Amino acid sequence: MMGVGLLTVVTFLPALGAVALTLVPRRRDDILRAGALVVTAATFVVSIALYAGFDGDSPDFQFDELHAWLPQLGVGYHVGIDGISLLLVLLTTFLTPIALASAWHAIEDRTKEFVVAMLVLETGMLGVFVALDLFLFFVFWEAMLIPMYFIIGVWGGGRRVYAAIKFVLYTMVGSALMLVAILVLYYQHGGATGMYTFDLPTLARYVLAPGLAQDLMFLAFGLAFAIKVPLFPFHTWLPDAHVEAPTAGSVILAGVLLKMGTYGFLRFCLPLFPDASLTFGPLIFALAVVGIVYGAWVSTVQPDLKKLVAYSSVSHLGFVMLGVFTLNQQGLVGGVLQMINHGLSTGALFLMVGMIYERRHTRLIAEFGGLWSVMPAFSALFLIVCLSSLGLPGLNGFVGEFLILVGAFQINGWLAAAATTGIIFAAVYLLWMYQRVAFGEIRHEANRHLRDLDAREWALLAPALVFIVWIGVYPRTFTSKTEATVQALIAQVESKASVAQRPIVPAIVAGAAFRPGRQPSRP
């Protein structure tokens, strides 16, 4: 397809907006904010056309665009979306304007740099989700680090510099090895087929021989993604980055950035390295469960609201990883849906934590109590968001987690049961926190005259709430677009995985034959 397609427009609209806004004088904060909001809102509107035009029955990449970029090396500008990336693109375009609007008053210093960074960041994130060329993907993947680095480092809290550097270095170490693996794959494929290309669909058709080389490449990709997810034990950058980032940064970080890790596993690790995915699947499965339980336990004891939400992300992303590595229909669809759910619920949680922080300039749970009597609207919405995050039936979290667990029980009942405790602990830490914040007597004078939500804050939360209920009641709007893609993905992994039996990674996993989807034993 020639010319500039819809997907390119969606991806680069924010970047164009950023360029335009650099021309606005520095002191016109109002124009800068409004301009950025208009650009991101326009991006969202255009991206709805992607949803409308997307054929959910087809597992193929749609809105496909391919232009030569560096033809000498087989690098192309190749973008396209399938049912998985469609939802993530929509999530990104949906959350970015909300995050921008949340910073309307919170960020008064150097507004120009802030809005430009946010817009560039959006292009980077969208690029990651739409890129179908390993080189292009890597470019977006790395480029996106820099605006996030600035957002945390310039507009963050007290230890912002430490958190920003930690965030960048962790990610760079992971992606450095991924670059080597990309190159090795490129030359292996080129050497075997005579076609040197970074094109993902082409590479994905190539059956890589199982063995050490594939395992190492899987691990190199996997490390980059596992750090991003973050999968236990690579999660230590996350609490720092989340706590120090400004609210807008936290929303984007939790809502979109973490999904890049899980998306990476789906898009690259599974189709490119199916054997290694099966080999290391049990290990990742187990780490996911550890992350679920560990994240939940650590959340329970956090005195700081933002840290609590940050650790809860470790737990929730553990669920997503669990779903992905069940490698069966329910688990994968649940995993994809849970990515969206987590983006909505945790994004909303961070927004609301940010709202009370703006009022009280503290996030310590012990500083609150009895908010229901002074801020009833806030408290009611906060309850809904908490319930969504802990997976109450009827709200979005339930659908995703249920599907994931259905998938997981088919693989290993014991681990799935352990993961289920994560849901229980989620109820513990979220409701206990909620109780300490909203119920009881007002213990601090400063809390007595807090104002309730204003119109802007309502406008920020309402869209997320709509989708929280929508997905909870009628998830088919979204799952219908992904199911075909997921089926195709599973078929691809299974057909490519060699027939040869390979030993499972020793010791770590409690036994368990890991043969996805072949031994259905319903819970």
Partner 1 sequence: MLVLDLLPPRRTKEHLGGVALAGVVAALLASIAQWGRGARGFRDMVVLDDYALFLHVVICYAAALAVLLSIDYLRRNGIESGEYYALVLLSTSGMLLLASAGDLLIVFLGIELMSLPLYVLAGLFKTRLPAGEASLKYFLLGVFATTFLLYGTALIFGTTGATNLARIAAATAGRASGDALLTLGLGLLLVGFGFKISSVPFHMWAPDVYQGAPTSITALIATGSKAAAFGALLRVLMVALKSAQADWTVLLWAIAAVTMTAGNVVAIAQSNLKRMLAYSSIAHVGYMLIGLVAGGVPGAGAILYYLLAYTFTTAGAFGAILMAERADGEEAVEVQDYAGLARRHPVLAATLALYLLSLVGIPPLAGFMAKFALFGAAVRAGHVWLTVVAVLNSAIAAYYYLRVIVYMYMRDAEGAGTRVAPTFAGGLALAIAAIGIVLLGVAPAPFVDLAQAAVAPLMR
Nearer to partner 1, 169 or 301 (CB): 169
**Which residues does residue 62 pair with via DSSP β-bridges, in sequence order?**
81
Nearer to partner 1, 72 or 495 (CB): 72
Q: Please list every residue from 87 through 126 that binds partner 1, using CB under 8 A.
A: 110, 113
> By C-alpha distance, which of 413, 61, 121 is closest to 248?
121
C-alpha dihedral, 289 to 292 to 297 to 300, nearest 10°? -170
Choosing from 1, 4, 45, 161, the residue that interacts with partner 1 (CB under 8 A) is 161
Q: Does 34 bind partner 1 (CB under 8 A)?
A: no
Work out how close the CB of 179 gets to partner 1 at its nearest, in angstroms, rounded to a whole number.
6
**Which residues does residue 133 pair with via DSSP β-bridges, in sequence order?**
199
Cβ within 8 Å of residue 480, ≥6 positions away:
56
The C-alpha atoms of residue 90 and residue 216 are separated, in whole angstroms, by 33
Choosing from 10, 21, 88, 168, the residue that interacts with partner 1 (CB under 8 A) is 168
Q: Does 366 bind partner 1 (CB under 8 A)?
A: no
**Which residues does residue 65 pair with via DSSP β-bridges, in sequence order?**
79
Stretch near partner 1 under the rule CB under 8 A, chosen from 4-12, 27-35, 67-75, 445-453? 67-75
Q: Does 173 bind partner 1 (CB under 8 A)?
A: yes
The C-alpha atoms of residue 87 and residue 357 are separated, in whole angstroms, by 31
Interface size with partner 1, residues (CB under 8 A): 37
Nearer to partner 1, 187 or 414 (CB): 187
Q: Does 488 bind partner 1 (CB under 8 A)?
A: no
The C-alpha atoms of residue 221 and residue 264 are separated, in whole angstroms, by 8
The C-alpha atoms of residue 313 and residue 259 are separated, in whole angstroms, by 11
Q: Please list every residue from 119 through 148 that binds partner 1, using CB under 8 A.
A: 135, 138-140, 142-143, 145-146
Stretch near partner 1 under the rule CB under 8 A, chosen from 68-76, 97-105, 252-260, 514-522? 68-76
Q: Does 218 bind partner 1 (CB under 8 A)?
A: no
Q: Does 153 bind partner 1 (CB under 8 A)?
A: yes
The C-alpha atoms of residue 338 and residue 402 are separated, in whole angstroms, by 10
Nearer to partner 1, 243 or 493 (CB): 243
The C-alpha atoms of residue 373 and residue 358 are separated, in whole angstroms, by 19
Q: Does 212 bind partner 1 (CB under 8 A)?
A: no
Q: Does 221 bind partner 1 (CB under 8 A)?
A: no
Q: Is 304 helix (H, G, I), strand (E, B) or coil?
A: strand
Q: Does 24 bind partner 1 (CB under 8 A)?
A: no
> By C-alpha distance, which of 45, 29, 42, 13 is closest to 119?
13
The C-alpha atoms of residue 79 and residue 11 are separated, in whole angstroms, by 10
Q: Which residues bind partner 1 (CB under 8 A)?
A: 26, 68-73, 110, 113, 135, 138-140, 142-143, 145-146, 149-150, 153-154, 160-161, 164-165, 168-169, 172-173, 176-177, 179-180, 183-184, 186-187
